[in-house]
Amino acid sequence: MVLRVLARTPDNLNVVPLGDTTTTARSCSVNPACAGFNSEGFMKSALVPTVARYGHDLAQAPSMLEAAAACNGDGRCLGFNSCLGFNSLGWLKSRLDPILPLGGVCLYRKTNTSCPPVWSFYGTVDADHPGDVVSPDWVPGDINATAVACIAHPLCMGFQKPPGYLKKEVYPAVPALGKCLYAKTATRCTTVYGYQAFPDTDALLFDIGQGAGLAASAAACDALGTCVAFTNTGFLKRDIPLPLPAYGRCLYVKVSHLR
């Protein structure tokens, strides 16, 4: 849901506009006196939601959360209102425009969140996992840049967009309208007869050769009595004392070596 509010001219915290919305949002988030900001780049010490939509009511819910749930489940509903001191709390609306000023009333507009598919990640619409961020700063750029950063970070198990926080944990997820929560999916390793595949795993050092492809690597490892494993990049291993997490890699270990 997106809260529609009229621009508020007083209560500016800055004299000169800060520029783009990202810069203003960052400045507002670290300023305890800032309650919000407008699209012109002015931070505000107070906000007064003052919009309403008269008529086109579908039904009434007893609370804001119940109104949101009812609106989400009704394809005709485009939003709902919420206010204090009036007998018009939680009216679901089939139309929202035009809107009219009305003090003390909040009008919530339904958003259609779209989470594009991202390779190696499973996306959940309108969801987030609070906390567990890898870094206090989000990753700039598009969703693919965030995914690449997550894959490259050993602690990252997923990310949230927008704005692009990397997450050390992605479960449990909670409802968060307008957000997309992406969780890493395990790498799928092709089955190789006689070998146990360990997804997202690699082993450093102890290389004794390299094959060209899985079949050639397996054949080469079979032919070498000292070979106990190989990777999906073709490196043959004579020992694997310290397997390490490595997203996108597959470590193939001889079944006979595991016994």
Topology adopted by domain 121-184: Hepatocyte Growth Factor (3.50.4)
Look up tokens 């997450």; give the residue. Answer: 167
d(CA 52, CA 4): 9
Class of domain 195-258: alpha beta
d(CA 221, CA 23): 55
> Mean pLDDT for the chain?
79
Lowest-pLDDT range of 3-12, 64-73, 112-121, 216-225: 3-12
Start-to-end C-alpha separation, the chain: 56
Gyration radius from the chain CA atoms = 27
Look up tokens 């107070």; give the residue. Answer: 46
Most confident of 20-24, 31-35, 151-155, 166-170: 166-170
CB-based contacts of 65, cutoff 8 Å, min separation 6:
none
Q: Is 241 left (phi over 0), alpha (psi -120 to 50) or beta?
A: alpha
Can you tell me whether residue 65 is helix, strand or coil?
A: helix
* Helix H or strand E segment including 126: strand 121-128
Domains 121-184 and 195-258 share a fold: yes
When pLDDT is averaged across residues 244-254 and rounded to a whole number, the result is 83
Q: pLDDT-derived band of residue 186, with 50, 70 and 90 as boundaries?
A: confident
- pLDDT at 87 > cutoff 60: no
- pLDDT at 49 > cutoff 50: no
When pLDDT is averaged across residues 60-82 and rounded to a whole number, the result is 81
Q: Which residues pair with 73 in a beta bridge?
A: none
Q: pLDDT-derived band of residue 53, with 50, 70 and 90 as boundaries?
A: low
What stretches of 98-178 show up as alpha helix (H) in DSSP?
Answer: 143-152
- pLDDT at 61 > cutoff 90: no
Domain ranges of the chain: 2-44, 51-109, 121-184, 195-258
